A = this chain, B = another copy of it.
């Protein structure tokens, strides 16, 4: 015994010794009542210092795995419950098996079926991948993030590590309220809930607005953010998609659809719309808001990548256009611009509504990570955000223009859309099936996201694809798009 002890680096040795003996007890290799070797003997057996063994023995005793008899040594304690056999682990009776496949409900099944990431594309290393629209992590200014953390910990570390508030970290809320005011939002009568990113915010809003007795009815741009489609489907909404035009949603179609029935909400992404990259024109924003107000359909505005403006005048978010009105719920996040790993988003809307959402948030997750919120807050007030966005914007703009130029050169058959952001959207002639194109490209080491998953109904958008360029080098952008172009030719 004690021959198979192996030290690993980077972990305190006493803890490794403790866990090693702990395991021997759990496995039954050391039995109740058995005397452990003396600390001196054990230190020779395991080739560690005697003090280390003493510390490990103390911890074992503390945890109730052993007991000490003064002057005699340490003994293995009887396990309070050794009944695994009784319940069938090793004994004669079979272990307790539940067939979880039949136990989980339709919601869980739908979540699995809609989970594209789980069934996503697996590509070998070295593949040129245009599938990601996450930021390029080499742009991250780690020094500033570390400083933000250390600054905040020095100010109120103990507070940050204890419970926070469901509504969010107060200094961050105050900051973001002012931030939204600077975009032209009239915050009177409105309030804010901090969530774990956009997705949680959206899911909580849907869960509060989903009708109880019937399916919900939602309107959205088609195509749109596929996570949002999933959430609406999972929450039981019937979705009516409105096609996109070059400057945003098709207003005529929206008007026609609004006349056909009642809708519980409209989900809209007016800026750098995912996946098309289109920024809704000011004239359309105004027309869309007038229509939805007239039909009393509340708007959930996705502030997605609003910060990634590459050129042109400031365009106010929809929520800024209703002044003191309360018909728009704005969900924002810095994830795509800043750090997706920091799971922080915010919901800005009518005070009464936010009050209800706060209770749902509390029931679901108590509150969003205070560490995340406070790092973000300190990073913002340190002025790092403005500095970082300037740098990131310049770099992404350059890549955006390169990608666009490459598409125009190598994929002249595809219609391009995308006024900014971290991706471009391509629409091929109907003969090009982008799932098949993907398979052909994969063989040549290039992958992208076929566009069909952004559409509401199966069979739509099979001739579209999304190219995320943020994490691809200039050289590979050029090479990758050239290869897609070569492969696409055979489908034309």
Q: Which A residues are within 8 Å of any B CB, using their own CB? A: 10-12, 14-15, 18-19, 22-23, 26, 59, 62-65, 77-90, 95-98, 100-101, 103-109, 111-112, 114-115, 117-118, 134-135, 137-138, 140, 142, 145-146, 149-150, 153, 157-164, 166, 178, 181-184, 186, 196-197, 199-200, 203, 207-212, 227, 230-231, 234, 282, 285-286, 289-290, 293, 296, 298, 309, 312-316, 320-327, 339-343, 350, 352-353, 355-360, 362-372, 375, 381-383, 386, 390, 393
Contact = CB atoms under 8 A, between A and B. Distances in A.
A166 B117 contact: yes
7 contacts: A79-B184, A84-B184, A96-B325, A98-B350, A106-B212, A146-B153, A161-B342
A394 to B, nearest CB: 10
A121 to B, nearest CB: 16
A380 to B, nearest CB: 9
A79 B183 CA distance: 11
Nearest to A356: B108
A18 B413 CA distance: 44
B157 A145 contact: yes
A43 to B, nearest CB: 18
B365 A326 contact: no
B98 A326 contact: yes
Given A79-B184, A106-B212, A371 B342 contact: yes
Nearest to A132: B163
Of the candidates A81, A111, A196, A322, the one having the most CB atoms from chain B within 10 angstroms of its own CB is A81
B87 A314 contact: no
Contacts of A371: 341-342, 369, 371-372, 375
Given A135-B162, A140-B161, A364-B203, A104 B343 contact: no
Given A105-B210, A341-B369, A365-B197, A145 B134 contact: no
A166 B369 CA distance: 16
A83 B328 CA distance: 15
Given A103-B209, A343-B365, 8 more contacts: A80-B282, A86-B290, A98-B327, A100-B353, A107-B208, A145-B153, A146-B149, A161-B339
A12 B383 contact: yes
Contacts of A227: 363, 366
A293 B327 contact: no
Of the candidates A62, A87, A114, the one having the most CB atoms from chain B within 10 angstroms of its own CB is A87
B359 A108 contact: yes
